[in-house]
Amino acid sequence: MQCHRAWPLLLLCALAPAATGVAAGDFVLSGRIDADAHERYIELPFEVPEGTGRITVEFDYSGREEKTTIDLGLVDPHGLRGWSGGNKRMFTVAVDDATPSYRPGPLPAGRWQLLLGVPNIRAGAVSDYTARIALTPAATPERLPAVLQPVLRDGPGWYRGDLHAHTGHSDASCPSQQGAKVPCPLFLTLQAAAERGLDFVSVTEHNTASHLQELRGLQPYFDRLLLVPGMEVTTFEGHANVFGLQAGLDFRVGDAVRDWNALLVEVERRGLPISVNHPALPGDERCMGCGWRPEGGTDWSRVAAVEAVNGQDAGTPVSGIPFWHARLDEGHRLTGIGGSDNHDATLRDSRFGRSRVGAPTTVVHAASLSQQAILEGIRVGRVFIDADGSGAALDLVARHGDTTVAMGGNLALPRDAEAGFELRVSGAPGARVEVIVDGAVAPLLTDANVVGPDQRLAWRWRSDGGRHWLRVDVRAADGRLLLVGNPIYVNFPER
């Protein structure tokens, strides 16, 4: 421990990372104040190196039971950066977002100050404080400290969410109080998701990260709804959602960014999953740049998912499902997901071109309700799409010998070997199941009808030793698509 007097009334101790067990880029400032600090301000200096993209501070102190109060603020090399008083024990500041009370923006290298204000400490009292400070490099903005990665619900389960929504931070609009068409407030999208019982929602604005600031401030309020920041990278050659980003991403494909594959390399470097959106839409004046047609091709090994269902497009000529199937046939393991593409959070029903929040719903089996777990669940592929957000569900597993795999898994199956498949469908009585093998409906079920609220169906399938994929759809009695399952892969190369 190294200590020095930073102020006549303050003993400041800076502990080296090895001594405190913190990660590289983290350090701890600790010290003690006494009654001489009453109604005084104390500056605790620390150095911020060039290339820092985020500063996160966790602060605590003793003596609250004796009415000691220590307020908190931050000073950068150019002046006061924010002041939260006694309101918060943690705050973060980055280029694109900051905890309310603090300003986002560039983080200049040099001497910063953690500012303490002491409105009260009684005569004879002392208070020990600790400030843990984490510095995140700008080059790796998604490597957040644990305190910024909330787990809203622990434990594995199926979590329901909407992976494609817009607000007034890009091109969403809704009626004002007087009925005028205005940019739609982000809060309304989150409120709509919460009212529909969703577990997570990704706000994916077109080519901007301006919404990160508002999401940062609203997550504590929506403590049952995980807010996943995203961006719809919107180019002249196609659109794609990037999930989990914590800083902006250059979208200028064909200009500042060489081509889509160069952008995919950058997204992969940052550890972010990306999904190709509404790939079958036209790319002309009817929907400029909407369809997927990169001039330099697509390195599908760097893509996690395809938006198989966008809004209410299932069963229409612009459905993404055939495009997804074609990529699966080529040997790519891509998770099929859905997103409402909502542009008006006040919508209460859905139709083609205008879908309410949560229709469709993407349902992900994840280790917890946390951003890391949800995004990993999408990568793994144990996912299904609830096409109209009705609450219906499915799960598919396959077994061969001692091996069991779920949706997204790969089953090694030699020629003439058989696998047993078991499907569970709930919340869809009166529906009918389609088993799809390599893009075609296969007559593997002797009775494909769903007659009860929670039903299991089983079949066997014989391998020819080649590469195949099998998945299921569940359709209503009128043929409308209700549920879209992800594949179980057979004899695919391991990722």
Read off the pLDDT of residues 43-79 as tens digits, 9 standing for 90 and up: 999 999 999 999 999 999 999 999 999 999 999 999 9
H-type helices in 198-313, by residue range? Answer: 211-218, 260-269
Q: Tokens in use for 110?
A: 């040099």
Element holding 396 (H helix, E strand): strand 393-400
pTM of the model as a whole: 0.94
Share of the chain residues as helix, strand and coil, in percent rounded to the nearest 5: 15, 45, 45
Q: How far apart are CA 206 and CA 228, in angstroms?
A: 15
> What is the reported pLDDT for 386?
98
pLDDT at 24 (0 to 100): 56
- pLDDT, one tens digit per residue, over 360-375 is 999 999 999 999 999 9
CA distances from 109 to 22, 132, 313 (A): 22, 19, 49
DSSP-derived secondary structure for 71-129: EEEEEETTEEEEEEETS-SEEEEESS-B-TTB--S---SEEEEEEEEEEE--TT-EEEE
**DSSP assignment letter at 419:** E
Q: Token pair of 300, please?
A: 């599908």
Instruction: List beta partners, residue 336.
Output: 306
> What pLDDT is recorded for position 25?
81
CA 470 to CA 417: how far, in whole Å? Answer: 15
Rounded CA-CA distance 139/63 in Å is 39
Q: Average model confidence (pLDDT) for the chain?
A: 94
pLDDT for 295-314, tens place per residue?
Answer: 999 999 999 999 999 999 99
Mean pLDDT of 156-163: 98
Residue 179's SS3 state is coil
In the predicted model, what is the mean pLDDT of residues 441-459?
96
Phi, psi for 356 (deg, rounded to 5): -70, 160
Question: Which residue's entry shows tokens 């759809």?
Answer: 473
List Cβ<8 Å contacts ≥24 apart for 414-420: 414/463, 414/465, 415/463, 415/464, 415/465, 416/462, 416/463, 416/464, 416/465, 417/462, 417/463, 418/460, 418/461, 418/462, 418/463, 419/460, 419/461, 419/463, 419/490, 420/458, 420/459, 420/460
Distance between CA atoms of 378 and 366, rounded to whole angstroms? Answer: 8
Task: Judge whether residue 41 has pLDDT over 80.
Answer: yes
Name residues whose C-beta falls within 8 Å of residue 18's C-beta, 6 or more positions apart in sequence. Answer: none
Q: Are 191 and 225 in contact (CB under 8 A)?
A: no
pLDDT digits (tens, 9 = 90+) for 343-398: 999 999 998 889 999 999 999 999 999 999 999 999 999 999 999 999 999 999 99
pLDDT tens-place string over residues 408-436: 999 999 999 999 999 999 999 999 999 99
Helix (H) or strand (E) holding 189: helix 186-195
Rg over CA atoms, the chain: 26
Distances (CA, A) of 184 to 34, 40, 380, 435: 50, 44, 34, 41
According to DSSP, residue 221 is labeled T
Using one digit for the tens of pLDDT, what is the confidence trace for 241-300?
999 999 999 999 999 999 999 999 999 999 999 999 999 999 999 999 999 999 999 999
* C-alpha span between 95 and 105 (Å, rounded): 4
Residues 58 and 89 sit within 8 Å (Cβ to Cβ): yes
Mean pLDDT of 108-122: 98
pLDDT average, residue stretch 185-203: 98
Q: How many CB atoms neighbour CB 488 within 10 A?
A: 26
Q: Which residues contact 402 (CB under 8 A, 6 or more apart)?
A: none
Among residues 355, 378, 354, 358, the alpha carbon closest in space to that of 366 is found at 378
The yes-or-no verdict on residue 20 having pLDDT over 60 is no
Distance, in Å, from the CA atom of 440 to the CA atom of 480, rounded to the nearest integer, reads 17
Tell me the C-alpha distance between 214 and 283, whole Å: 31
AA identity, residue 217: G
Task: Assess whether pLDDT exceeds 80 at residue 130.
Answer: yes
Q: How many other β-carbons are positioned within 10 Å of the β-carbon of residue 289?
A: 17
